[in-house]
Amino acid sequence: AQSVAQPEDQVNVAEGNPLTVKCTYSVSGNPYLFWYVQYPNRGLQFLLKYITGDNLVKGSYGFEAEFNKSQTSFHLKKPSALVSDSALYFCAVRPPYNNNDMRFGAGTRLTVKP
């Protein structure tokens, strides 16, 4: 069975500081990993995904994520946080053998303070 965990319900960071939102996964085979962001009363916006190749993936709005196979992690990072980055972030995983079974983590609320 596949699963994804976001160990932090809430992350607080000061504007201008680097931010990290953590994600770990459990899946058989090589996973496909995704990050989405959700602003209040809105749908999910795609940020980035890891399929294969370079472990460092760059995405929208200056976000990047690093795939670490040995630690089964896919942490989301940004070098300098903005107040407007405050939102709910979801990590999601798909196994390579099932094209529609996407599982989301519980979500991490990021708050960036001025």
Interacting residues with another protein (CB under 8 A): 32, 34, 36, 41-46, 49, 51, 90, 94-102, 104-107
> Smaller CB distance to another protein: residue 61 or 80?
61
Q: Which is nearer to another protein, 83 or 106 (CB)?
A: 106
Nearer to another protein, 82 or 88 (CB): 88
- Minimum CB–partner distance for residue 105 and another protein (Å): 6
Radius of gyration of the chain (CA): 13
| Distance of closest approach, residue 95 Cβ to another protein, in angstroms | 7
Amino acid identity, position 61: Y
Tell me phi and psi for residue 38, to 5 degrees: -130, 120
Least gap, CB of 91 to another protein (angstroms):
9
> Using CA atoms in the order 94, 32, 98, 39, what is the torsion angle rounded to 10 degrees?
40
Q: CB of residue 9 vs another protein: minimum separation in angstroms?
A: 9
**14 vs 56 by CB, closer to another protein:** 56
